[in-house]
Amino acid sequence: MRLHDPTLMTGLLDGELNGWRRWYVRRHASKCPVCALEYRQQQHARRLLAANPPNISMSGSDDFFWSQIKNEIQSRPASAVDVPTPSLSFGDWLRQRELALATVAATIVALLAITWLVSQHRAHPQFAHAQVEHVQTAIPNTVATPFRSDDDVTVIWVSGLPWTPDMTEMQTLYAQPTI
Amino acid sequence: MRWLALILLVVLSAPVHAASYKVLLIRASNENGATDESLKDIETKLKKVFGYNHYRPLGLQRMPAQINTRRRLDLGEGFVTFITTKGLKDNQYDVELEWFSGKLLISKQTLKLPENRYVFIKGPEVGADWIVLALTILE
């Protein structure tokens, strides 16, 4: 915000400021003695004007007044009128597009976040299954077959192992150096 | 100085990523019995793969997944595993798993094991039941 800008005090008193600009100008006016004085002076002037409204009286009736205005307009010849084009500073341009700028900033942040997530995913891909690179068995006539289940489970099926009726017999059998 | 202390506190209290192996020795059977709590999360997978109705844990061991280490895990009932963590690449652990029963090597496998994925190994048949080994790495 430009320092000690009387137009901002005017805008604040007129209720033209919204959102964070209103909050910021009010905060500045509460802390800056120059702007606080400007604010009080403008407020005082407004109160004076409000307390003493201009007493305007018309000589004739309202209809007569407006008929005079209409005659005046119709009597004037048509002529081109130059409409002044306002020249906006970059600051004015930005103020007119606060919402658009916020949207652009949010979009950029979202794009950066998505890019980061994608790069993270590529750097550390999520694997659905464990991979069996090599498998072997040592007991004769046995074979180990790896496969993937429908879930995220990898299975190694060792078949051909000797059958035993209970755990005790199994431990006895497997305690031998060879079968 | 206070800021430095605060930054040090935040850095030191940051969680350290420590993965660990979970190895389960399981007996699959059709005899009646409630499934143990330790198998609740994989009971459905076990049923889908092996088809038995009930699964009972015979042994459970955990150990940290440290690179270039070989650890022996005694699972009970004469079963022992040797787990060698050879490396970690792209969030997959290079693991060598040896499964012994007594003096006999049931199977030896080299795996690329991502975190939170299970490997089931179907082992010996005892009576009408099967002995199964389950291995995973948990975050």
pLDDT in tens, chain A (179 residues): 566 888 999 999 999 998 888 999 999 999 999 999 999 999 999 999 999 888 777 777 888 888 988 999 888 888 787 877 777 788 888 887 888 888 999 999 999 999 998 887 676 666 778 999 999 999 999 999 999 988 889 999 999 999 999 999 999 999 988 87
What are the tens digits of pLDDT across the range A97-113?
888 888 999 999 999 99
Provide the mean pLDDT of chain A.
87
Does any domain span residue A68?
Answer: no
B107 and A144: CB-CB below 8 Å? yes
Sign of the dihedral through C-alpha B54, B59, B60, B64: negative
Size of interface A-B (CB pairs under 8 A): 138
Q: What angle do CA B69, B75, B76 make, to 5 degrees?
A: 145
Residue of chain A minimizing CA distance to B106: A137
Residue of chain A minimizing CA distance to B114: A130
B35 dihedral zone (left: phi>0; alpha: psi -120 to 50; beta) = beta
pTM comes to 0.59
Does any domain span residue B71?
Answer: yes
pLDDT at position B14 is 47
CB B111 within 8 A of CB B23: no
What are the tens digits of pLDDT across the range B102-121?
999 999 999 999 999 999 99
Does any domain span residue B95?
Answer: yes
**Local structure of residue A20 (DSSP, 8 states):** H
Q: ipTM above 0.85?
A: yes
Interior/surface letters A28-43, b for 16+ CB within 10 angstroms, e for the rest: bbeeeeebeebbeebe
Choosing from A111, A126, A141, the residue where a domain stops is: A126
Beta strands in chain B (DSSP E): 20-29, 54-64, 69-76, 79-89, 92-101, 104-114, 118-126, 129-138
Does any domain span residue A89?
Answer: no
CA atoms within 13 A on the CB side of B84: 8
Does any domain span residue B23?
Answer: yes
Distance to chain A for B123, nearest Cα, Å: 6
Distance to chain B for A10, nearest Cα, Å: 43
Does any domain span residue B70?
Answer: yes
Does any domain span residue A83?
Answer: no
CB A123 within 8 A of CB A116: no
Whether residue B88 lies within 8 A of chain A, CB to CB, comes out as no
Does any domain span residue B11?
Answer: no
Name the pLDDT band for B17 (thresholds 50, 70, 90). low
Query: Shortest CA distance to B77 belongs to which of A174, A161, A179?
Result: A174
B-facing residues of A in 159-178 (CB < 8 A) are: 159, 161-167, 170-171, 173-178
Does pLDDT of B20 surpass 60? yes
Does any domain span residue A72?
Answer: no
The average pLDDT across B67-79 equals: 95
In chain B, the number of structural domains is: 1
Residue of chain B minimizing CA distance to A173: B102
Whether residue A72 lies within 8 A of chain B, CB to CB, comes out as no
In chain A, the number of structural domains is: 3
pLDDT at position B1 is 44
Query: Shortest CA distance to B41 belongs to which of B123, B138, B111?
Result: B138
Token pair listed for B120? 């089931």
Examine the domain organization and report whether A1 and A43 are in the same domain: yes
Range of the domain at A116: 96-126
Range of the domain at B117: 17-138
A153 and B49: CB-CB below 8 Å? yes
Task: Name B76's bridge partners.
Answer: B79
Tokens 């003695």 belong to which residue? A33
Task: Name B93's bridge partners.
Answer: B88, B113
Does any domain span residue B6?
Answer: no
